[in-house]
Amino acid sequence: MIYLLQTDVLADHAYSYLPVGLQVLIAVGLVAFLMVVTHLLGPKRKTSDKLQTFTSGIESHGDARQPMAIKYFLTAILFVLFDVEVIFFYPYAMNFRGLGWDGFWAVLMFVGFFLCGFIYIIKKGALKWED
């Protein structure tokens, strides 16, 4: 087995994945073993003090589930959506000469779709905070 790990004779076969498979198997086995051992050997005294929520020494008051404006979440989701779309401009910027006119027209279509979505959001009033 050590011989298989050290030679390049079988580099084109599934045997070349043997070291990765062994590492994954050992890692998963170690995690499972440690979880079982700590569950079996760990203390099981559940007192009221241990079951209370830890709040860094600050006494908790009120309910954590207070209503929050949906506009905050909508703005956050829209930010993530448009932020991810802007990331697609980077590969074009790195290879714009190699893509030629076909790449230019593809990016122009992408920007058009991007602007259509942005105009739709503006018309729906998704970014207006006043109600």
Percent of the chain residues topping a pLDDT of 70: 85
Per the model's pLDDT, the better-predicted residue between 50 and 17 turns out to be 17
Please write the tens of the pLDDT for every residue from 26-60.
999 999 999 999 999 988 888 887 777 776 767 76
**Is residue 62 pLDDT above 80, yes or no?**
no
Average pLDDT over residues 67-87: 81
Question: d(Cα 9, Cα 18) in Å, to the nearest integer?
Answer: 13
Provide the pLDDT for residue 12.
Answer: 62
Query: Radius of gyration of the chain from Cα atoms?
Result: 28
Per the model's pLDDT, the better-predicted residue between 9 and 74 turns out to be 74
Provide the pLDDT for residue 14.
Answer: 73
pTM higher than the cut 0.75: no
Question: Which residue reads 């709040």 in tokens?
Answer: 55
Provide the pLDDT for residue 6.
Answer: 60
**CA distances for 81 relative to 18, 26, 53, 61, angstroms:** 40, 39, 35, 36
* Burial annotation 101-110 (CB, 10 A radius, 16+ → b, else e): eeeeeebeee
DSSP 8-class letter at 12: T
Provide the pLDDT for residue 13.
Answer: 74
Question: d(Cα 85, Cα 105) in Å, to the nearest integer?
Answer: 17
Q: Where along the chain do its domains lie?
A: 2-51, 70-124
